[in-house]
Amino acid sequence: MRQDALDREVDAAVRKYVGNEAPGVALLLAKDGRVALKNGYGLADLKKRVPVTPGTRFLIASVSKAFTGAAVMLLRERGRLDYDDPVGRFYPDFPAWKDRVTVRHLLTHTGGVPEYLDDAFWQEPGSGKADQAAVLERIKTYEELDFPPGTHFRYSNSGYVMLGGIVERVSGQSFPRFLRRNVLGPLGMSRSLAGAGARRTAGQAVGYRPRGGSPGNATGFERAPYNRAVVGWADGNVVSTVEDLFLWDQALYTERLLPRAALTEAFTPVRPEDPSISRYGFGWFMSRLRGVAEVWHSGGTLGYSAHLARFPEQRASIILLSNLQGRDLAELAGALAGALLGESLTVPEPLSPDAVPAAWLVEKAGKYVDPLPRGRAKEPAAADEQPAGLVLEAQVPAGRLVVGERSHPLRPGAALLPLGRDRFRLETRGEVVVDFLREGVDGPPGTTAITGLRIDANGSVSNLVRRGRDGTAQDGQPGRTGGDG
């Protein structure tokens, strides 16, 4: 695509998400190892009317996890630790599960360590002043795991806080210093750092959250809190720019930081043969974006959103950073991928509504929930405290299913279009696929009742069981597959 055409197509796509007077987005698109386009949209500071530029700093939240993974990998290459070391080697005073959970489990979110970053944490008066030691003490109180290590995938910020602590205990340096000396500095990422406190650095965008609705229909914006809990620890504390992240992206094609064999392992999904497990490596998701191999991670916290997508076969990248909480940068990246990768992408065509029997839709309407218990729960939650789960409504004339209100993990109002009887895709993002599970497939032969569904969103997999009228799983069992949580 010619440069002027690329500029126009990208500009049109971004302006559907970002207004001139709104919190902004910095973007960088690269292909064949070169910057194809970089730009800034919207404002980094609404009060002072500072525009976003490619040099604006943002908190990149969970996109930081790839840096934490790299720090652990460097120590492993230096013989200071092993991926299969039990975490009890580094945390000898933790509960008994410390001897069953390994460093590899933490890297791949398969350890079952309960999530510290929950609603209760945010609501605690002292959360904004907490330090890493306090968070580790919190994790140490979790006597039970969410599941036996290695059996399921559930995204765990707790595990990455523990990894940051391991880096510090093994190296004898703070995590920010280790990252600066061993990753950011050697790569020339001069505008990047690992945050360690509650002060924004010079040139960093002010973080905002929508007022009166979601980012797409907000009536305004308010300044989001910025404190130690927001900055986080090794689970999400890197501050960077799209230009610096391009340097990081390009270094991963070389051996400047790590040998090829180590990088290959980092980009190999855990249990790739199991469709119920998210395809996650060491700080990266792996998937195929409309037929093209993709390595990616998103991040979000109070006031900030981030998304970094790499397409190794094309040596192409999409890097997006925003100072608006909840902005769907993955959806924007999907739109930009069309401009960057063009005919390389293929989108499966849904069936015509006329070809979709009403029974295909009606049988799937209902509520679906995460079957995995939470290790910290002392007793089952009350019915009105249960997570909303995913609610699906049949729209027979339109030949589709629609996500109901208060649903998770798909947004309310999202439409699912049928590719076949039991496979659907998200209308706005062709790479998000929903497979309905039947008892005849995962259970005793001869039965065909739908017992649950599996959502594959670019390699991030959620497994939900169908909920019956009495509040139990429809098949009377707690569920057979894990979920992302």
> How are beta strands 415-418 and 400-403 bridged, if at all?
antiparallel
117-123's contacts with Cβ under 8 Å and 24+ in sequence apart are 117/157, 117/158, 117/235, 121/229, 122/229
HSE, side-chain direction, 13 A CA sphere, residue 212: 5
d(CA 303, CA 377): 30
Global pTM reads 0.90
Task: Tell me what the mean pLDDT of segment 412-427 comes to.
Answer: 94
Q: Is there a contact between 290 and 337 (Cβ–Cβ < 8 Å)?
A: yes
Q: Specify whether the CB–CB gap between 437 and 456 falls below 8 A.
A: no
Q: How confident is residue 4, by pLDDT bands cut at 50, 70 and 90?
A: confident
Select from 370, 285, 291, 368 the least CA-distant residue to 330: 285
pLDDT confidence of 225, banded at 50, 70, 90?
Answer: very high
Short-list 427, 437, 429, 369, CA closest to 395: 427
How much is the pLDDT for 217? 67
Residue 294 token pair:
């993709």
The chain-wide mean pLDDT, for the chain, equals 89
Domain ranges of the chain: 1-346, 353-467
Measured between alpha carbons, how far is 395 from 402 in angstroms, rounded to an integer? 7
Instruction: Name the residue with tokens 């007022």.
Output: 211
Q: Cα–Cα distances in Å, from 56 out to 53, 229, 439? A: 5, 22, 52
Rounded-to-integer distance, Cα 193 and Cα 179, Å? 8
The radius of gyration of the chain's CA atoms, rounded to the nearest angstrom, is 22
Bigger pLDDT: 279 vs 5: 279
pLDDT digits (tens, 9 = 90+) for 348-391: 899 999 999 999 999 999 999 988 876 543 333 333 334 458 99
Does a cis peptide bond (omega within 30 degrees of 0) precede residue 409?
yes
Looking at residue 468, its pLDDT comes to 65
- From the number of C-beta atoms within 10 Å of its C-beta (0-12, 13-18, 19+), residue 284 rates as buried
Q: What whole-number distance in Å separates Cα of residue 434 and Cα of residue 413?
A: 15
- What top-level class would CATH report for the domain 1-346? alpha beta
User: What number is the average pLDDT over the span 291-296?
Assistant: 94
Over residues 290-308, mean pLDDT: 95
pLDDT at 144 over 50: yes
